[in-house]
Amino acid sequence: MTKLVLVRHGQSEWNLQNRFTGWVDGDLTKKGKREAKLGGKLLAQEGLRFDEAYTSYLTRAVRTLWIALRGLDQCYIPVTKDWRLNERHYGGLTGLNKQEMRDKHGDEQVHIWRRSYDIPPPLIGPEHEYHPANDPRYAGIDPAVLPGGESLKLTLERVLPYFETEIAPKIKAGQTLLISAHGNSLRALLKQLFNVPDAKIPGYEVPTGNPLLIELEDGTLNVTGARYLDDSRAKPLPPIT
- 9 noted as active-site residue: yes
* Catalytic residue, candidates 46, 52, 87, 164: 87
| Terminal Cα distance for the chain, rounded | 17
Coil, strand or helix at 16: helix
Q: How far is CA 155 from the centre of its chain?
A: 10
* Catalytic residue, candidates 9, 89, 131, 182: 9
For the chain, give percent helix, strand, coil, nearest 5: 45, 15, 40
What is the Cα–Cα distance from 41 to 192, expressed in whole angstroms? 28
* Neighbour tally for 74: CB within 10 Å: 18
- 182 noted as active-site residue: no
Q: Is 7 left (phi over 0), alpha (psi -120 to 50) or beta?
A: beta
User: Long-range contacts made by residues 127-133, C-beta under 8 angstroms, separation at least 24?
Assistant: 128/92, 130/22, 130/23, 130/24, 130/94, 130/95, 132/23, 132/83, 132/89
Return the DSSP state at 166: I
Q: Which residues participate in catalysis according to the annotation?
A: 9, 87
